[in-house]
């Protein structure tokens, strides 16, 4: 280590340990997994989410926030401010991020402590990409109660793989055999709280990325949380969906004069009694998982209030894709909600989860790519509970955090040039200064693809399926395909999409020529 670098690091640490007249805000970025657009109370749900509702009442809710419709490309876009294609994550996560810097690196450069607890679903170790502390699951879904070998006196854990890699900082556990009180949501929060305590007296602001795996399958929850929802879903899909829709109108987050998208679930009354019971049980557990996540978010809020840091902490809450219709079939003990049974939500309840939008995870239709977004900052935003219609995207999180922290975006990382971020800061939108976007947004995952320019959206799902065209201002739930009426708009938007795809698939940052 050179003397100059050591001197810089010492002065940098000393400067940010001094009290500052206008301290930078702390930032808590919370990402849910497979959460539908209507699955929390302040977006229409019957699920109890008092802490998220509290943040919404003291912040801004976005009604047109977009993800990528799938976990790992969403997380790559969130971390880098780039489209997944640009960092090599358009199809797989089994390689390092390329062309990019990360939120951890950016926030660290601005003098922040950087913590990450929870799911990664990426290749690079977080502590190699700017995060000072890390605890969590480095890959995809795992058993919420026991991701490792069977424990004495317990059912065999239902698993896709028993050797999912977990890390405690740099220590790898593969398989991970957690304590008997382990539950993913609880432990991800536990480590986050421990860091807030450990660094309580550090004068530097902190950035905490809290990436829950709830409510992604397997559907598993504590019995006391499941009990809260016993019998709530016995009415079936249509009754719950309609109730959410009416609540959304009262909340003012959807137009009062628009019908929902066409339902895709089966007729509840056509199900057998045993199947109705199993379907209702699934939703009881799913609701319990969301409620548990909200409880733990409440613990973070309480801790920061206790430490006197809540007023100057920005909370950003969102999901990585819409509710999931994916079904995983793994033999188990048959007890829905327990360690020994992998149960998936399925398409029918996912249709409810994404009320009033069309389709689900993996689709580029609104149900697949829309996420709730709450931004709350008691000190920096007016407590008027506004609702923003601004069309936002995961690529906007990077410039938003830069705006909040005063960070500068680098031209290169570790001697390699990086691409410029693609998004826009959402801070002006939170203050009502902007409501339109001057650049198109793009999506492509598997066989889903879309482009949105202004109010017009072109979308398709299926390798050889034709484009569908919608005007989202007059038809926000994609009911009326206008592709035949407006072929020129189809051609223009398709041209934009293929031009974007060509550019992002081949994009490499420019190397600066030194004189």
Report, as residue numbers or ranges, the catalytic residues. 71, 121
Do the strands 456-461 and 206-211 form a parallel or antiparallel pair, or are they unpaired? Answer: unpaired
Strands (E), 90-161: 113-118, 133-137
Nearest CA to 169 out of 198, 202, 140 is that of 198
Closest CA to 164 of 225, 203, 216, 232: 216
For residue 231, is it left (φ>0), alpha (ψ between -120 and 50) or beta?
Answer: left
Distance of CA 210 to the CA centre of its chain: 10
User: What value, to the nearest 5°, has the Cα angle with vertex 450 and ends 446 and 452?
Assistant: 155
Does the CA dihedral 427-296-292-58 come out positive or negative? negative
Measured CA to CA, the distance from residue 439 to residue 451 in angstroms comes to 11
Residue whose C-alpha is closest to residue 297's, from 120, 79, 55, 131: 55
Give the C-alpha separation, 325 to 361, whole Å: 7
Distance between CA atoms of residues 399 and 276, nearest Å = 46
């Amino acid at each position: 280590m050179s003397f100059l670098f050591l001197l810089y690091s010492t002065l940098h640490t000393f400067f940010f340990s001094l009290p500052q007249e206008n301290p930078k805000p702390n930032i808590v970025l919370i990402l849910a997994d497979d959460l539908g657009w209507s699955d929390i109370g302040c977006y229409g749900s019957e699920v109890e989410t008092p802490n998220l509702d509290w943040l919404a009442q003291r912040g801004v809710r976005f009604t047109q926030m977009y993800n990528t419709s799938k976990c790992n490309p969403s997380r790559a876009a969130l971390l880098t401010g780039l489209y997944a294609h640009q960092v090599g994550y358009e199809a797989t996560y089994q390689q390092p991020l390329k062309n990019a810097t990360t939120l951890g690196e950016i926030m660290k450069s601005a003098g922040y402590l950087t913590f990450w607890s929870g799911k990664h679903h990426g290749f690079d170790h977080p502590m190699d990409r700017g995060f000072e502390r890390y605890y969590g699951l480095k890959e995809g879904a795992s058993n919420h109660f026991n991701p490792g070998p069977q424990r004495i006196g317990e059912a065999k854990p239902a698993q896709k793989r028993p050797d999912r890699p977990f890390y405690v900082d740099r220590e790898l556990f593969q398989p991970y055999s957690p304590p008997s009180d382990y539950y993913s949501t609880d432990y991800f929060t536990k480590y986050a709280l421990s860091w807030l305590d450990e660094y309580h007296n550090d004068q530097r602001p902190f950035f905490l990325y809290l990436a829950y795996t709830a409510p992604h399958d397997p559907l598993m929850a504590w019995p006391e949380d499941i009990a809260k929802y016993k019998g709530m879903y016995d009415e079936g899909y249509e009754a719950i969906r309609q109730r959410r829709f009416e609540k959304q109108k009262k909340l003012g987050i959807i137009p009062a004069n628009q019908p929902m998208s066409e339902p895709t679930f089966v007729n509840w009354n056509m199900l057998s009694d045993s199947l109705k019971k199993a379907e209702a049980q699934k939703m009881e557990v799913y609701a319990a998982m969301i409620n548990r996540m909200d409880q733990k978010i409440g613990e973070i809020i309480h801790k920061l209030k206790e430490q006197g840091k809540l007023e100057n902490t920005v909370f950003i809450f969102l999901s990585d894709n819409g509710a999931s219709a994916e079904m995983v079939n793994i033999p188990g003990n048959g007890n829905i909600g327990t360690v020994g049974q992998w149960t998936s939500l399925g398409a029918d309840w996912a249709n409810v989860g994404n009320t009033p939008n069309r389709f689900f995870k993996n689709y580029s239709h609104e149900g697949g790519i829309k996420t709730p977004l709450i931004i709350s900052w008691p000190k920096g935003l007016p407590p008027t509970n506004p609702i923003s219609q601004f069309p936002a995207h995961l690529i906007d999180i990077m410039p938003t955090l830069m705006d909040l922290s005063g960070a500068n975006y680098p031209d290169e990382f570790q001697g390699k040039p990086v691409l410029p971020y693609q998004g826009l800061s959402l801070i002006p939108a939170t203050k009502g200064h902007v409501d339109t976007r001057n650049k198109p947004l793009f999506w492509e995952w598997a066989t889903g693809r879309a482009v949105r320019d202004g109010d017009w959206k072109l979308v398709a799902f299926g390798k050889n399926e034709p484009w569908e065209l919608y005007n989202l201002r007059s038809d926000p739930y994609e009911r009326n395909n206008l592709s035949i009426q407006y072929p020129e708009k189809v051609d223009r938007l398709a041209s934009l999409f293929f031009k974007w795809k060509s550019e992002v698939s081949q994009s490499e940052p420019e190397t600066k020529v030194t004189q």
